[in-house]
Amino acid sequence: MQIEFTHKQSAHCENGVVSNLMRHNGFEVSEPMVFGIGSGLLFCYIPFLKVNHAPVVTYRAMPRFIFNRFAKRVGIKIKREKFSNPESAKARLDENLKKNNPVGLQVGVYNLLYFPDEYRFHFNAHNLVVYGKENDNYLISDPVMEQVTTLTEKQLEKVRFAKGAFAPKGHIYYPTEFPEKLELKSAIIKGIKQTCREMTAPFPIVGTNGIKTISKLIRKWPKKKGAKVANHYLGQVVRMQEEIGTGGGGFRYIYAAFLQEASQILDNENLKELSKEMTQIGDDWRDFAVNASRIYKNRSAQDDAYNKVADQLEAIANSEAAFFKKLKKAI
């Protein structure tokens, strides 16, 4: 059994699943639109948590949040379910496939065999679409992959019941109700407002203040942690920023693409200019990554090199702070 489903590759998994499921139901919504309306852009440093033995920063909103906000703002309804046992999780999946309904699943990456070994970490917030079943094989549309693929029943069960932080617990989701026409205009404005609010929030770990906090920490790392650990930490910051899913520059380019699309829908020239500015900020993030990589490539830890990349981050924090003030005024 195979559902007629168009696989379109995206930069990020959650945006891609939403965008592809929407298209399947007759609504053409681009990945940047989903990301922007769902207020996906963020910067957050998560203290007290270590992943792969290094501190965690994120450049985007929590998993699930993007789709939930998007749904609420454009007026669609989503059904979500989690399961305590694998049998009922599988039964619900099969039931939906029989009804010709492709569904989104949250999965862990570690046992996702079609990923290269190097990318298989214990990361549990990956998303994909199942669009059919042939014999023992589920047909998989993973938005970050160029091509569709398959997983056996057992392989799929393993990734749906991965353990650890953000364990998926068989999480299945799909849109159930649609309005006649999507409320894009008001949705875009709500999405932008929330992003502005979060990015300029007066807390030291969120938004532009969060970037400043990380910049301060980076200055301390070489002395406090030694060259090896400091390099490992810095490498992780760059990976979170650039690894599969961000579309480059820690989601800043996707956001710029969203602003460009939004400027047409809202007929707002200011947003077009701001899109260019966001692209420039994305370029600054890329420059930061290049300079950081020079440090960990040589596996050295000179204080002045660390200070230099920290300065760069501080400058980015300042330009983003100015940017989101302007963006708030523009809508």
316 is a site residue for another protein (CB under 8 A) = no
Minimum CB distance to another protein, residue 272 (Å): 9
Residues 20-39 that bind another protein (CB under 8 A): 32
Give the integer Cα–Cα distance in Å for 35 and 313. Answer: 24
CA 165 to chain CA mean position, Å: 16
C-alpha span between 125 and 166 (Å, rounded): 7
Segment 249-252 long-range contacts (CB within 8 Å, at least 24 positions apart) = 249/281, 249/282, 249/283, 249/285, 249/286, 250/43, 250/59, 250/282, 250/285, 251/12, 251/35, 251/40, 251/41, 251/59, 251/60, 252/41, 252/278, 252/279, 252/281, 252/282, 252/285
Does residue 92 bind another protein (CB under 8 A)?
Answer: no
Site string for another protein, 193-232 (x = CB under 8 A): --------------------------------------xx
Quote the CA–CA distance of 40 and 254 in Å, as a whole number: 10
Exposed, middle or buried: residue 134 (CB in 10 Å: 0-12, 13-18, 19+)? exposed
Q: Closest distance between another protein and the C-beta of residue 88, in Å?
A: 19
Q: Which region, judged by CB under 8 A, interacts with another protein, from 3-11, 126-134, 198-206, 308-316?
A: 3-11
Is the separation of the CB atoms in 103 and 174 below 8 Å? yes
Taking residues 132 to 151 in sequence order and writing x for each that binds another protein by CB under 8 A, - otherwise, the string is ------------xxxx----
Quick check: 155 binds another protein (CB under 8 A)? no
Residue 287's Cβ-count burial label (10 Å; 0-12, 13-18, 19+) is middle
* Three-state SS annotation for 161-213: CCCCCCCCCCCEEEEEECCCCCCHHHHHHHHHHHHHHHHCCCCCCEHHHHHHH
Asked if residue 116 binds another protein (CB under 8 A), the reply is: yes
Nearest 5°: phi and psi at 197? -60, -45
Residue 293 contacts another protein per CB under 8 A:
yes
Among 63, 75, 86, 235, binds another protein (CB under 8 A): 235
Rounded distance between C-alpha atoms, residue 178 and residue 32, angstroms: 20
Nearer to another protein, 32 or 207 (CB): 32
Residue ranges in 47-85 assigned as alpha helix (H): 65-74
Q: Which residue has 């609010």 as its token pair? A: 197
Is residue 266 near another protein by the rule CB under 8 A? no
Q: Which of 71, 218, 256, 327 is the binder for another protein (CB under 8 A)?
A: 256
Q: Which of 77, 82, 98, 163 binds another protein (CB under 8 A)?
A: 163
The residue within the footprint of another protein, chosen from 1, 46, 154, 164 (CB under 8 A), is 164
Smaller CB distance to another protein: residue 53 or 329? 53
> Shortest approach of another protein to residue 145 CB, angstroms?
5
Please report, as residue ranges, which positions from 41 to 60 form the binding site for another protein (by CB under 8 A): 50, 52-53
Nearer Cβ to another protein, position 119 or 203? Answer: 119
86 contributes a contact to another protein by CB under 8 A: no
CA–CA separation, 102 and 21 (whole Å) = 7
Which residue lies nearer to another protein by CB, 117 or 267? 117
Residues that bind another protein (CB under 8 A): 9-11, 32, 50, 52-53, 110, 114-122, 144-147, 163-165, 167, 231-232, 235-236, 238-239, 242-244, 247-249, 253-254, 256-257, 260-261, 275-276, 279, 282-283, 286, 289-290, 292-293, 296-297, 299
